[in-house]
Amino acid sequence: MTTQGASVAGEYASVAMHNLTESVANSGSAITNIISENKRKLGILKGEYYKYTLNINMEIGFSKSAEDIFRKYREILDNKLSNIIGDSDEKLSAIYDRLSEDNKESWSQVADTCRKLFKSVADNLFEKMHPSYDKEMVKVKSGKDVNITGDKYINRLTVCLDDIDKLSNKHIEDTISCINKLNDKICNGVHNDITYREIQQIIIHTYICLGDIISSVILDK
């Protein structure tokens, strides 16, 4: 409390003190209201910080779980690929090595290696399922004639999947559609028109598609 230098003596002392105490009371009430409001805002802010931290922890936890799942899936598929493709280890090592490089040319080479993986799987599976086949065309269950020559590795994969009785036409169509879309991305990547995120997606989708194909063939035996 302060009179700020004003005298409170004499006949006006009572009025002056009343005004002073009322002013202090009003000021104190205003400060109390400000403190209460700021405490309320601080409580909300703390709650938001908690929610943010919780969400980040959940994302990190999910990311770690997803990473572990993909790592285990990759290890299983790498082993199966090595049984189908003799040089799969070299191709996979090239993918991992070039992925760590920070330039589009290296990422383009990764895309090309993914394409070669598909082609090697197609060639080896077709040779095992159709040994000594020397014609250009193969008739699939739908009655369509499919050209399996040259770089038409997707057609060779189509024929291999078509030979598996337990696979429905819908399953085969969905798998081949996925491979065709992935092949388009790979072709773009081969021509250096690719980002790091896109090459990551190509690698993941390559594993998923190859895993689906190889698992279908192995389970059919």
Taking only the tens place, the pLDDT of each residue in 81-108 is 777 777 777 777 777 788 777 777 888 8
Confirm if 185 and 96 have CB atoms less than 8 A apart: no
Phi–psi pair at 147, nearest 5 degrees: -80, 125
Confirm if 128 and 119 have CB atoms less than 8 A apart: no
Give CA torsion, residues 104, 105, 108, 109, to 10 deg: -140
Q: Which of 157, 164, 155 has its CA nearest to residue 137?
A: 155
- Tokens of residue 173, six digits: 């169509």
- Tokens of residue 7, six digits: 């005298």
Higher pLDDT, 125 or 100: 125
Give, as one character, the DSSP assignment of residue 101. Answer: S
How many Cβ atoms from other residues are within 10 Å of residue 5's Cβ? 5
Strand partners, 145: 139
Give, as one character, the DSSP assignment of residue 39. Answer: H
Report the alpha-carbon distance of residue 175 to residue 158 in Å, rounded.
Answer: 9
| b/e per residue 25-61 (b: at least 16 CB within 10 A) | eeeeeeeeeeeeeeeeeeeeeeeeeeeeeeeeeeeee
Confidence of residue 4 (pLDDT cuts 50, 70, 90): low
Report the alpha-carbon distance of residue 185 to residue 111 in Å, rounded.
Answer: 8
Global confidence as pTM:
0.61
Largest CA distance in the chain: 124
Mean pLDDT of 100-127: 84
Q: Tell whether the torsion through CA atoms of 24, 25, 26 and 31 is positive or negative.
A: positive
Higher pLDDT, 19 or 199: 199
Report the alpha-carbon distance of residue 90 to residue 29 in Å, rounded.
Answer: 77
Indicate the domain borders of the chain.
Answer: 11-69, 86-219
- Tokens of residue 34, six digits: 């400000």
- Per-residue pLDDT at 62: 58
Mean pLDDT of 23-43: 81
State the amino acid at position 190 in one-letter form.
V
**What's the distance, CA 193 to chain centroid?**
20
